[in-house]
Amino acid sequence: MNLKTKIEYFTTPLYLESGRILEPYQIAYETYGKINSDASNVVLICHALSGSHHAAGQYPNERKVGWWDGLIGSGKAIDTDRYFVISTNVIGSCFGSTSPMSDNYPSNKPYRLKFPVLTIKDMIKAQKQLLSNLGIYKLKAIVGASMGGMQALQFAVDYPNFSEKIISLAATYATQPWTIGFNKVAIEAIRRDPRFENGNYEKDAFVENGLDGLAIGRVAGHISYLSPSSMDDKFGRNYVNNDGLFELFGRYEVERYMEYNTDNFSKLFDPMSYLYIVKAINTFNLSRGYDSLYEAILRIKAEVTLISFRSDYLFFPSEMAHISKMMKRNEQKQTYHEIDSDYGHDSFLVELDKFDDIIKEALDK
């Protein structure tokens, strides 16, 4: 793949759900595969909280492949020999799209906490604008997991004729208080960190030493991405070698895992973007703007594939099953798959072989 991050600039305003306006703005994205003559083979990929547009392939200077590289590529479930795949960075995120740390024209200073609150609805509106600019007015499919799965569902409700198929994994119809609670740890930890300076930190301030508040919030995140049984399998009660059991700050393996992952993450991810994206996740509610959840879901015309993971402790299978039941009652086209995976919410990133066939079949049939 000839990998490249492309940036699309927009000078027309984006009217946000809050009543505020984002103008100008930009969206970073990658594409894989080739568009066919009638542009009927386009698949849109939507990322999760900490993800980016870099879903597949590998840059020469990077150690890691894209976050769904196992799923997207030549001969893979989302087959780039067959589909033209577009993966965008959501607005608000810190990987190239307009975010709270972007310059606020005409002042040429970062928005910081003056950045408008964004919602999942706003994110997909911006994505749709990007597709328009690229001359794409109809999609074969939208595929996303977690926050990406929310975007896929929101697309299906807000723009019923836009995508033929929707594949949503490990998401929900509305974020529940349990998940809002986990996000609260990050919100409070970031806000209360003195180095956050109420959003007035310097750009790149945390590249060397990540923000503690974000690292702490991320510890709570990692609890919710795993599950009791996946932690048992992965770590058990193993203690870190050389860390004394009777040292106050001696660690279990599960603690080392969290330290390692969260400290790294806090150097890579902008804490303000984290706050804004978490806000979008918290406020996600398919029914907002419609008379009821029933009315919202009734609008869906796409073929919907819902995939949840039995061990998901962040977005429980029952939440996806709820959408499935409503659609079934309305005789809308849907299939629901509950995957038996032990990796908790993270399953969508880890156990691709448990669901890649489902995605392939949903796309190709």
- Binding of residue 116 to a second copy (CB under 8 A): yes
- Binding of residue 311 to a second copy (CB under 8 A): no
Catalytic choice (122, 193, 312, 346): 312
Query: Among 249, 291, 331, 353, which residue sits at the site for a second copy (rule: CB under 8 A)?
Result: 249
- Binding of residue 310 to a second copy (CB under 8 A): no
- Binding of residue 279 to a second copy (CB under 8 A): yes
CB of 50 to a second copy, least distance (A): 17
d(Cα 307, Cα 310) in Å, to the nearest integer?
Answer: 10
Instruction: State yes or no: is 158 an active-site residue.
Output: no
Catalytic choice (146, 227, 311, 347): 146
Residues 17-76 touching a second copy, rule: CB under 8 A, are 17-20
Stretch that binds a second copy, among 146-154, 214-222, 304-312, 353-361 (CB under 8 A): 214-222
Query: Among 8, 40, 235, 325, which residue sits at the site for a second copy (rule: CB under 8 A)?
Result: 235
Which string of DSSP letters, residue by residue, matches 20-65? -EE-SEEEEEEEES---TTS--EEEEE--TT--S--SS--TT-SS-
d(Cα 273, Cα 101) in Å, to the nearest integer?
Answer: 8
CB of 135 to a second copy, least distance (A): 32
Query: Which residues are paired to 22 by β-bridges?
Result: 14
Helix axes 271-282, 212-225, angle to 10 degrees: 40
d(Cα 83, Cα 41) in Å, to the nearest integer?
Answer: 5
The count of chain residues that interact with a second copy, using the rule CB under 8 A, is 58
d(Cα 133, Cα 129) in Å, to the nearest integer?
Answer: 6
Residue 106 has what DSSP assignment? Answer: T
Element (H, E) at 327: helix 317-329
CB of 7 to a second copy, least distance (A): 25
d(Cα 337, Cα 307) in Å, to the nearest integer?
Answer: 5
d(Cα 78, Cα 360) in Å, to the nearest integer?
Answer: 6
Name residues whose C-beta falls within 8 Å of residue 125's C-beta, 6 or more positions apart in sequence. 14, 15, 158
CB of 256 to a second copy, least distance (A): 10
**Cα 286–227–320 angle (5° rounding)?**
25
- Binding of residue 242 to a second copy (CB under 8 A): no
- Binding of residue 125 to a second copy (CB under 8 A): no
- Binding of residue 289 to a second copy (CB under 8 A): no
d(Cα 97, Cα 92) in Å, to the nearest integer?
Answer: 7
Instruction: State yes or no: is 322 an active-site residue.
Output: no
d(Cα 290, Cα 181) in Å, to the nearest integer?
Answer: 26
d(Cα 354, Cα 154) in Å, to the nearest integer?
Answer: 25
Instruction: State yes or no: is 212 an active-site residue.
Output: no
Q: End-to-end alpha-carbon separation of the chain, Å?
A: 26
**By rule CB under 8 A, what string of x and - marks binding of each residue 146-175 to a second copy?**
----------------------------xx
- Binding of residue 134 to a second copy (CB under 8 A): no
- Binding of residue 220 to a second copy (CB under 8 A): yes
d(Cα 275, Cα 201) in Å, to the nearest integer?
Answer: 14
Residues 174-193 touching a second copy, rule: CB under 8 A, are 174-178, 180-182, 184-185, 187-189, 191-192
Stretch that binds a second copy, among 3-11, 76-84, 124-132, 274-282 (CB under 8 A): 274-282
CB of 100 to a second copy, least distance (A): 9
CB of 116 to a second copy, least distance (A): 8
Catalytic residue IDs: 146, 312, 345
Contact residues toward a second copy (CB under 8 A) are 17-20, 113, 116-117, 174-178, 180-182, 184-185, 187-189, 191-192, 194, 212, 215-216, 219-220, 222-223, 226-228, 231-232, 234-237, 245-249, 252-255, 258-259, 262, 275-276, 279, 282-283, 285, 316
